[in-house]
């Protein structure tokens, strides 16, 4: 292995608490000069805020070292050359879409693209139904999912993530979402291009058996599952088999040297 990709929540930290040993492991990565990138499906904060959070946990990082679905989706939308964009993301994530033709927050028509991210508790019937109305008003409108993570470990317990809301809209509209973020193979391939290492020489480290492990393996990478974050023992009993299982990120240097 020549490079590393790290999921963030559940691997480097658990919501607002650092994972023991994570900062030391990242210091080891930097000391070894191993190319690396932080991947997250988080759309509740911008990259700058995420970099500040990592710094708080003793992991120095710049915004350019963090890859989120927002930047990937916004770049793709800009390449399309225009059209109304309806954003269902939190205010902190909207800056990634600056310069695009973003519709007013209460619009129910005029969308060429409907972008679904993490709204957390702001998801209610009205918000979900407005997204559906935008899709219904334009049969050519493209549904965009900023990741397809099913759930995450919030401070108050396990909580729904973006995928269930995207699935509801797919069902109602009869359209398949274009996915930017994990587990889409294209997202992992874009990360490989960014670190400048072939996919087959990259190890992805994550706590989500589907979004992190299966997604990376589909893109031709190896993947290590940590027993922190949302990990459950039954994750190891299904069809998806990680290339390695480690107790936490603190064990990565020893595993790496053995390999």
Give the model confidence (pLDDT) of 41-97 as tens digits. 888 778 899 999 999 999 999 999 999 999 889 988 998 888 999 999 988 888 889
Reading the block at residue 217, the tokens are 């393996």
CB within 8 Å of 39: residues ≥ 6 apart: 5, 6, 7, 8, 67, 182, 187, 188, 191, 204
Residue 259 has pLDDT above 80, yes or no: no
Please state whether the predicted TM-score (pTM) of the whole model is above 0.85: no
Cβ 149 vs Cβ 41: under 8 Å: yes
- pLDDT, one tens digit per residue, over 153-172 is 777 888 898 999 999 999 99
The architecture that CATH gives domain 80-179 is 3-Layer(aba) Sandwich (3.40)
Pick the CATH number of 3-68+182-258 from 3.40.50.1000, 3.30.1360.80, 2.40.50.100, 3.40.630.40: 3.40.50.1000
Q: How far apart are CA 216 and CA 204, in angstroms?
A: 6
What percent of the chain shows pLDDT beyond 90?
A: 75
Closest CA to 162 of 141, 140, 177: 177
CB within 8 Å of 6: residues ≥ 6 apart: 12, 36, 37, 38, 39, 204, 205, 206, 249
Residue 81 pLDDT: 84
Residue 150 pLDDT: 87
SS3 66: strand
pLDDT grade for 120, boundaries at 50, 70 and 90: confident
Q: How far apart are CA 217 and CA 244, in angstroms?
A: 12
Average pLDDT, integer, range 180-193:
90
Residue 82 pLDDT: 84
Q: Do domains 3-68+182-258 and 80-179 have the same CATH topology?
A: yes
Closest CA to 221 of 203, 205, 194: 203
- Structural domain boundaries in the chain: 3-68+182-258, 80-179
Q: How far apart are CA 123 and CA 28, in angstroms?
A: 40
What is the overall mean pLDDT for the chain? 93
Closest CA to 232 of 240, 222, 220: 240
Residue 200 pLDDT: 96
Cβ 219 vs Cβ 189: under 8 Å: yes
């Amino acid at each position: 292995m020549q490079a590393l990709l790290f999921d963030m929540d559940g691997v480097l930290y658990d919501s607002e608490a650092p994972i023991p040993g994570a900062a030391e492991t990242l210091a080891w990565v930097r000391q070894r000069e191993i190319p690396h990138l932080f991947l997250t499906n988080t759309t509740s904060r911008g990259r700058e805020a995420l970099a500040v959070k990592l710094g708080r946990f003793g992991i120095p990082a710049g915004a350019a070292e963090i890859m989120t679905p927002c930047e990937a989706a916004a770049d793709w939308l800009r390449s399309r050359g225009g059209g109304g964009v309806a954003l269902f993301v939190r205010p902190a994530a909207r800056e990634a879409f600056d310069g695009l033709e973003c519709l007013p927050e209460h619009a129910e028509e005029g969308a060429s693209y409907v972008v679904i991210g993490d709204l957390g508790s702001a998801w209610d019937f009205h918000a979900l139904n407005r997204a559906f109305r935008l899709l219904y008003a334009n049969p050519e409108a493209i549904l965009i999912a900023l990741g397809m993570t099913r759930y995450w470990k919030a401070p108050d317990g396990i909580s729904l993530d973006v995928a269930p809301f995207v699935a509801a809209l797919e069902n109602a509209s009869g359209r398949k979402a274009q996915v930017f973020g994990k587990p889409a193979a294209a997202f992992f391939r874009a990360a490989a291009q960014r670190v400048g290492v072939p996919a087959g020489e990259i190890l992805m480290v994550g706590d989500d058996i589907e979004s992190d492990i299966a997604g990376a393996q589909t893109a031709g990478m190896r993947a290590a599952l940590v027993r922190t974050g949302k990990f459950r023992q039954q994750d190891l009993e299904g069809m998806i088999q990680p290339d390695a299982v480690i107790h936490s990120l603190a064990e990565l240097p020893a595993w790496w040297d053995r390999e």
